[in-house]
Every structure is written in C-alpha cells, then in structure tokens.
Amino acid sequence: MTDFLTVGSRRYRIHTVDAPARLPYSLRIMLENLLRHAAPAEQVRALTGWRPRAGRTAAVDLHPARVFLHDTNGVPVLADLASMRDAMAALGGDPGSVNPAIPAELVIDHSIIADVFGSRDALARNADREYERNAERYRFLRWGQASLRGFTVVPPGKGIMHQINVEHLARVVMTRGDEAYPDLCLGTDSHTTMVNGLGTLGWGIGGIEAEAAMLGQSVSILVPDVVGVRLHGELPVAATATDLVLTLTERLRDHGVVGKIVEFHGPGVTALPVTDRVTISNMSPEFGSTAALFPIDAETIRYLRFTGRDGEHADLVEAYARAQGLWHEPDAPPAYTADLDLDLATVVPSVAGPRRPQDRIPLEGVKAAFRAQERPPAEAGREITHGTVAIAAITSCTNTSNPSVMVAAGLLAKKAAERGLSAKPWVKTTLSPGSRVVMDYYGEAGLTPYLERLGFTLAGFGCMTCIGASGPLVEEVSKAVAEHDLDVAAVLSGNRNFEGRIQPEVRSNYLASPPLVVAYAIAGTMDLDLTTEPLGTDPGGRPVYLRDLWPAPEEVRAVIERVIRPEMFARAYADVLDGDERWQRLDVASSATYPWDPASTYVRRAPYLDGMSPEPPPVADITGARVLVKLGDFITTDHISPAGAILPSSPAGRYLAGLGVPRHQLNTYASRRGNHEVMMRGAFANVRLRNQLVPGTEGGLTAGFLDGGAITTVYEAARAYQEAAVPVVVLAGEGYGAGSSRDWAAKGPALLGVRAVIAKSFERIHRSNLVGMGVLPLQFPPGEGPDELGLTGREVISVTGLAALDGPRLPPTLTVTAGDVTFQARLRLDTPREADYYRHGGIMPYVLRGLLASARRSR
C-alpha cells in the first residue's frame, strides 16, 4: 500500500510495510522491496509468513537500489558491459541500450601498492607508480564514466570504497523524485556489508551478478535464516573494537551462519558507536554470513549528521525508519532462527591467525601458539628467523574507519617514541588509511610525527596490504626467507589473512588492532608474550612493556572529542569525484563501443559472448570429463584466483614477459583483471595451493592425464584438455570458494573449460558466481566427499540427467559416475532464476538475449 511521509517541507511517497511485529529488520527491508516492485504474491507470502525455525526453500527476487564496485572488479565488469555492447551490435541491436538501469558507483582503491614505505614521500612515489602501471585501466574507467549513463567513478587517492560508503555515499534511505525507499546496496566486494553497521542492508555479489543488476535484472536469493546476536555490557578497558570483532568472528563461524543474515540487538548495541558497528559488519564475510545488520537508531542519525550528511536527509532517515518499523527497539527484539548472546565485558585483547580470520588467539597465548606450529628448525642466533615480523601494516577500512583504534595507535606510537623506542629495521611499516579524514585528525592531534618516527608514514589511501598489495619485503628479510625457508609474519589491521594473500614470502599472517600493529613493529617478532615480556628497552636500559604504552580509554576519547569535527568530512568529500592532475590528463575515448587495443596487456575484449546464438542451445550431459584439480577443505577464492603479485615464473608472468612486459611492470593479478589472458593463466595459481593430484607440491601444478599423469601447470593441462575436447571438473571439500566475492574465481575456471565443481559445500557468493558463468555447482551427499568415496581424482567422470534442467521442475540431484563409483549429487541451482542462467550459459548471455528480445518486441 502506498502512503505519504512529510519531512520538513517535503512530502514523500512510501510503500508501507505492514510486517508481522516479530519479523527481523532485514526481512522487513526485503519485504518493502518486493511490495514496491510488485513481486509475485508467493514471494510476498514467503516473507510475511516467515517462521524462525521453518525450512527454507522459497526464493525472492530483489531489486537493489544501487550497485557498488571497486576498480579490480569494476574493470572486468566494465569490460563485460563493453563486450555486451559489441555483441549487441553484432546481433543487430543498439549498443547504446546496454546501460546501468540503477546507480552504479565505482571507487578506485585496489590498485595502489606499498612499494615505498617509511619515507615522507612514500605517498607521492606510490601514487606515481600506480599511474604508471594502471593508466590504461584508468582511461578505460573514464571511458565508462563518459559513455555509460548512471556510472560514477571516484578517482584514485580518495580512500577505500567501504569507508567512503559509510562516511559519504550511503543514503540509508534513497529518494527518487517524490519516492523514498531503503538503500539496498549490493557490491562486488564481499565487505560491502560494512554499510550494514549504518542500518543499510547490503552484501557482496559477484561481478557477473552485479552486471545483471546494473542492467535492471533482479537478484535472486533464498529466503534466509536470521540469527540474532544480543549484545550487552561494556568492553573492558584494554579491549578494542578489533578484539570485539575477532571474538564475534570466532563465535559466529563456530555457530555456523553461512547463507544466513545476522542481526545485532540489545542494550549493548545502543552503547556502541556507529564506528564500532561498521567495524563488526565489515567482517560479516569472515563470519560467513550474508549480511550483519545493526538496525537504525539515534546513534545512526547522529553519525549521519556528524559525517556531514544533509540535516533534512538525516531527518528523513529517522522518520522513514520509525514509520516502516525499521527503528531499533532494544527491549522488543524480533524473532530469530537462533539466539546468541555476548557480554562485551568478556572480550579480551586478541589477534587472529596465522591463516584464517576466525582463528582467534588471546594476546597472552600468541607466543605459545606460534611456537606450536610445525616448521623446520631455524639456524640459531639469527636476528631474522622464524616468527620475525616482516610486515606491520595499519591498513583496511575495517579498522581505519574507527577513530578509537586509530587514535589509540597514534597515542601508543607517541608514548613509544617518547621512551626512545623504534620499529625494528627489518619490519616493513606502512600506514594506508581508508579515508583522508584519518590524516586530518592525526595532524590536528599532533600524532603524525610520532607515527612517522616509528616508520608509519602515509603510504597511500587504499586497500594496499589488506588485499595483498603489500609490495616487496625489506631486502635482507626476503633473502633470509629464500635461503633458510623461514616462517616470517605479517601483522595487519585488516580483515583477511588467507594463505598467500598478504605477501607471497610471508607464511604467517595475523589480524590485530592498529595499536597492536604498532606494538609488534616495535617487538619485531611473534615469539614474544606482549602481556608479560618487554617490547624493548629505553635509552637508559629500562624495559618497556606494552602496558606502559597502552593509552587509557579516556585519553583516546579526549583526543577524539577535541579534534574530530564534521567539517573534516565535509572538506574531505567536497571534491570526491574530482581527480588530481594525473587523472585529468588521461585521454578519454568518447564512443558507444570501446575501441579495443589488441596490444593491450590490461584491457581485452571478454570472449564469453563470442559466437553467441540468439537462442540458448539444449542443456547436455557432461561425459568423459577429467579432474583438473582435487582440493581439500576451505579453499578460498584467493586460492582459486590470487590477487597478489604476478610471479615471473608463473604462466601469467611468462605470458606477459613474452609480450615484452618488463619484470618490474608485471603488477598484480588484481590490477590485470581486465585481461582474460592473464587471469585464466592465474586460475589455481596461488603459491600456497595444495592440489591432491600432485601431493607434496604447492602452487599451480596438476597432473595431466592426457600425458600419463605428468606434472604440469594447471593452465597447460587445461589447454591440452580443451584442444582434445575433453571437459574438466573440480573436486573439493567443505567451504569451497570462501573469502572475497571474486568473479575471476569463477571466470578463470570457466575459461579453462571447467564444466562442474563437485564439493562438500560452497560459500554463498562463489556458488552464485559459478552459476553466473555457466559452471555447474554440485554437492556431495551428506557425510560424503572425494576421500570418503575413495576418489583419487584420476577417474573419468560423467554427470547425467542434465536434460531435466530444460523442464518445468529442477531435479534435486544428478547422477555422477566417477570410475566405478556412482552417487547422487545435490544440484545447487538454488532458485529458478539460477536455472535460467545455467540454461543460457551464464548471466551475460541470459541478459543480452533478454535485451535483444525486448528491443525486437518494441519495434
């Protein structure tokens, strides 16, 4: 039902949500979306009739209010849209009809690398190298902004997308004409959930799903379970928001929230500032949840005003939330699928690692935990040895968005410098905030000089170390690691520490609060108990302990209240869409179709639509397939499609070298996602990938069964299979595709000829991405897997029964035959829309055929 809401001098039309009183807040937002878009009655009933502990089989089709992208996912998205324009022209349609139907906002934040550190010119030198490496990609993005309607680009150097989102872009309530509705934000980065801390529902989707949403397609999702987490009490003096989020990550991963939404409620929520809430919501992917929502309340409105949002819009957000039942009522929580409880007083200082964000270690146990890891003995008496801290990085929107932990880091640096302490010379120390506001308040508080004295000079405004753009190690450390096979460590204030992600030479990676990052830079080793042993000694020979340097909460609060003002945000974001002179100097082509450069090593026309027919071919069985890789549990998208440095010895490195690209210009996989030739060679190329077909090895190696099982690279084996017209499949264990919402983890295998992935279970976003690329996700029967069924990966595999996918009802299982083993695999096309995508060979051909048919009907 349509109603009206008057705020100030304006009158807004809203779609009233008459939801059951105990329906979770997130589902109320979804219900409004269905009602506003006149969804089928059965979808509306699926939400209005939602029961906390009922089975979940129904799907709903949601229309996002906007799509949010970063440059490394945004470049391939734009390449796909440009390729769709080409394909539309080839099929006789209007290429200019391929445009975003909703706002699409892209922030360039993933490309700057921490090459230079520890000097005051580090920012300028890193930015210069960023443009040297990425000018071609940036020209392409500027073409997209000039040629596609509704496509906005935030240039480099402005900050990290999610921090910019919560501090500036997020509307919480959108307006279009006289209509007001929730800001349902879906993004191509899994940490899009950060905006959940602001009361905005949103989550990460694959780049290929984002393309469909941008073109007006709905996003299909199973009606989720919603887990409630009641927060109460207060954080102890020594604990930070980072410690809280690491505790929640451990608890929620242990509980199991994959595919579910988490909602926080209770009196503890009321006491948490938005800056703590967004730190927690940012790590929703590390919990495994689809989203992690904090409902709108008075603190939300205060934050909107504090960060420079228009006062009348803040009034609208409050009025809309109260009118639509979206205002947090701490004493009347909704009904939840499961109810968890956390007393904030039980949170203790912690780190997480060395390989997964959910592996929390109390600070007092870090030394023992590090020593308990298996590793070869190291030569005694060396300064650089097992446990040496090679990287200490204050990085990531997770924590740099939170003034409490950032000011604490600055105060700890000040106290340490005043005691005569410094970072160890072998530690690469970097500071890469997600917002220019951070450096404003550091400067106002007088903390910048102390951070610089400890080596934490500004390296850039971007993701940097958190996404693996950490650059080279100190030369002596790199040499020692290579010569002695050392297990050195990184300590970062980021959100992910998966194997091979942060820096290829660093095996152990620990997530920690910004002040602990500074502390470990001073200590220089993980082989130390910071709670009982000194960080170092002052010039007088006196030991200095962490407790001597740790700032009291009232010290931190006093600095924040004294120096951080709304004008800082207004000033930082006044020119957020204006680039510097380097951005302005980039040549921009103005044309309906993109003039592809065949010599480009960064941007190539995507091949997915080559030879596409106006109608989809019939679905066919998979027969005579071979196993490309056989993998274990918790294989992440970083394992499948790494984001870090391209090694010269890798297939991608050799390919680029063959084109004349010098070694120092190889750049990262993340920066070359617009070139499918590079990315398909990077599939399964993570240096820490362990393929069970070639036991005892690490990296992108496999057995080529057309050559008697000889060891070769995954890329070379895949090419041989493709030339012989042999399909390939992937076998895997639990949690396949965990981690980033990386579309190339689906695109790369698809281009290598992977027809199906058969796993024990899938992470939500990656399973969706596989479907979007026409790769069939299948799940082993409960309690079974490759090892339980005795599969070695050397079997010839067939998947039969696929013809049923052309029928009106999807079969629950398909028959898989692997050698002499036959079993029924669960079909993981979870919604009717996903079945449509698979029949068409993926989202792109599905959408393009729909646009073409629509154009023909309108003639």
One domain, residues 285 and 377 = no
Closest CA to 268 of 165, 172, 358, 346: 346
In whole angstroms, give the CA distance from residue 116 to residue 130: 11
Q: Is the pLDDT of residue 543 over 90?
A: yes
Per-residue pLDDT for 812 more than 70? Answer: yes
Hey, which bits of 49-192 come out as E strands? 59-62, 66-70, 104-107, 151-154, 173-176, 179-182, 185-187
Closest CA to 515 of 420, 417, 404: 404
Q: What is the pLDDT of residue 386?
A: 96
Q: What mean pLDDT is predicted for residues 828-851?
A: 90
Q: In the prediction, which pLDDT does 546 show? A: 98
What is the average per-residue pLDDT within 408-437? 98
Residue ending a domain, choose from 329, 346, 363: 346
Strands 185-187 and 202-204, bridge-based pairing: parallel
Burial class of residue 823, CB neighbours in 10 A (0-12, 13-18, 19+): middle
Chain Cα centroid distance, residue 338: 26
Backbone angles phi, psi at 625, to 5 degrees: -80, 155
User: What's the Rg (C-alpha) of the chain?
Assistant: 26
The answer to the question of residue 460 being in a domain is yes
Q: Strands (DSSP E) along 695-766, which ranges?
A: 701-704, 710-713, 728-731, 754-759
Tokens linked to 111: 């490309």
| Confidence band, pLDDT 50/70/90 cuts, at residue 859 | low
Picking from 249, 343, 238, 333, the residue whose alpha carbon sits closest to that of residue 295 is 333
Does the pLDDT of residue 856 top 80, yes or no?
no
In percent, the amount of the chain with pLDDT more than 70 equals 100
Kindly state the tokens that stand for 725: 């017209």
Residues 362 and 313 in one domain: no
| Full residue range of the structural domain in which residue 393 is found | 350-564
**Which pairs with CB-CB distance under 8 Å and at least 24 residues apart come from 5-10?**
5/180, 5/316, 5/319, 5/320, 5/323, 7/312, 7/315, 7/316, 7/319, 8/312, 8/315, 10/178, 10/312, 10/316
Alpha helix segments (H runs only) across 334-402: 366-372, 397-400
Please, which pLDDT band fits residue 97 given cuts at 50, 70 and 90?
confident
Tell me how far apart the terminal alpha carbons of the chain are, to the nearest angstrom. Answer: 35
Averaged confidence pLDDT in the chain: 94
Q: Look at the chain and report how many structural domains it folds into.
A: 3
pLDDT digits (tens, 9 = 90+) for 231-273: 999 999 999 999 999 999 999 999 999 999 999 999 999 999 9
pLDDT at 643: 82
Q: How far apart are CA 419 and CA 141, in angstroms?
A: 48
Residue 127 falls within a domain, yes or no?
yes
For 14-64, give the secondary structure using H, E and C: EECCCCCCCCCHHHHHHHHHHHHCCCCHHHHHHHHCCCCCCCCCCEEEECC
Contacts of 475 (CB under 8 A, 6+ apart): none
What residues form DSSP beta bridges with 263?
Answer: 228, 293
User: Measuring CA to CA, which residue among 468, 460, 390 is closest to residue 646?
Assistant: 468
Of the chain, the percentage scoring pLDDT greater than 90 comes to 83
User: Averaged over 51-78, what is the pLDDT?
Assistant: 91
Q: Are residues 481 and 627 in the same domain?
A: no
Give the contacts of 310 (CB within 8 A, at least 6 positions apart).
none
What's the rounded mean pLDDT across residues 718-738? 97
DSSP, collapsed to helix, strand or coil, labels residue 743 as: coil
**Residue 600 Cα distances to 73, 344, 348, angstroms:** 18, 53, 51
Nearest CA to 503 out of 641, 631, 643 is that of: 643
User: How far apart, in Å, are the Cα atoms of 776 and each of 337, 750, 771, 826, 829?
Assistant: 30, 10, 6, 11, 8
Q: DSSP character for 387? A: T
What pLDDT is stored for residue 61 in this prediction? 93
Angle between helices 403-418 and 241-255 (to 10 degrees): 130
Quickly list H helices, 627-694: 637-640, 651-658, 676-681
Domain identity same for 655 and 786: yes
The verdict on residue 56 lying in a domain is no
Sign of CA dihedral 470, 471, 474, 475: positive
Report the CATH number that the domain containing residue 722 is assigned in CATH. 3.20.19.10
Name the residue among 192, 78, 769 with its Cα closest to residue 184: 192
Please state, in angstroms and rounded to a whole number, the distance separating the CA atoms of residues 520 and 416: 12
Are residues 762 and 777 in contact, defined by beta-carbon separation less than 8 angstroms?
yes
Tokens of 625: 């397939």
pLDDT tens digit string along 670-694?
Answer: 889 999 999 999 999 999 999 999 9
Amino acid at 7: V
Of 204-213, 448-457, 523-532, 631-640, the range with the lowest mean pLDDT is 204-213
Does residue 265 fall inside a structural domain? yes
Does 436 lie in the same domain as 332? no
Asked whether residue 215 carries a pLDDT value surpassing 90, the answer given is: no
With bands split at pLDDT 50, 70 and 90, how would you rate the model's confidence at 748?
very high
Residue with tokens 């405004």: 461
Measured CA distances, 355 to 248, 490, 508 (Å): 17, 11, 6
Cis, peptide link before residue 354, omega less than 30° from 0? yes
CA distance 410 to 414: 6
φ, ψ dihedrals at 469, nearest 5°: -90, 55
237 and 293 share one domain: yes
Q: What is the pLDDT of residue 18?
A: 86
Q: Which two tokens stand for residue 363?
A: 């600070």
Taking only the tens place, the pLDDT of each residue in 322-342 is: 999 999 999 899 999 999 999
Asked if residue 514 and residue 407 are part of one domain, the reply reads yes
Residue 447 is part of a domain; what is its CATH number? 3.30.499.10
Kindly indicate the confidence band of residue 650, based on its pLDDT and cuts at 50, 70 and 90: very high
Q: How many CA atoms lie within 13 A of 791 on its CB side?
A: 30
Answer yes or no: is pLDDT of 508 > 70: yes
- 210 within some domain: yes
pLDDT higher at 643 or 580: 580
**Separation CA 827–CA 528 (nearest Å):** 49
Q: Answer yes or no: is pLDDT of 858 > 80.
A: no
The answer as to whether 17 is a domain residue is: no
- Would you give the DSSP letter of residue 474? P
Question: Is 362 exposed, middle or buried, given 0-12, 13-18 or 19+ CB atoms closer than 10 A?
Answer: middle
Give the C-alpha separation, 813 to 790, whole Å. Answer: 20
Q: Which of 72, 187, 188, 80 is nearest to 137 (CA)?
A: 72
Is the same domain home to 354 and 439? yes
One domain for residues 175 and 242: yes
Q: Which of 548, 564, 580 is the last residue of a domain?
A: 564
Q: Give dist(CA 742, CA 725) in Å, integer.
A: 27
Position 596 pLDDT exceeds 80: yes
Q: What is the mean pLDDT of the segment spanning 425-449?
A: 98
672: in domain: yes
> CA 646, CA 636: separation in Å to the nearest integer?
18
Report yes or no: 18 and 35 within 8 Å, Cβ to Cβ: no
Task: Tell whether 304 and 376 lie within a shared domain.
Answer: no
Q: Which residues contact 546 (CB under 8 A, 6 or more apart)?
A: 519, 530, 531, 535
- Residues paired with 814 in a beta bridge: 825
Query: Which residue blocks in 618-733 are alpha helix, DSSP H?
Result: 637-640, 651-658, 676-681, 714-723
In three state form, how does the secondary structure of 785-814 look? Answer: CCCCCCCCCCCCEEEECHHHHHCCCCCCEE
Global confidence as pTM: 0.86
pLDDT of residue 764: 81
Q: Which two tokens stand for residue 385?
A: 């040895």
Q: How far is CA 590 from the centre of its chain?
A: 32
* Residue 355 structure tokens: 């390989």
Q: Are residues 342 and 375 in the same domain?
A: no
Residue found by looking up tokens 């993701």 in the block: 463
DSSP 670: G
Is there a contact between 586 and 156 (Cβ–Cβ < 8 Å)?
Answer: no
| 417 and 315 in a common domain | no
**Is 77 a member of any domain?**
yes
Where among 544, 564, 584 does a domain terminate?
564
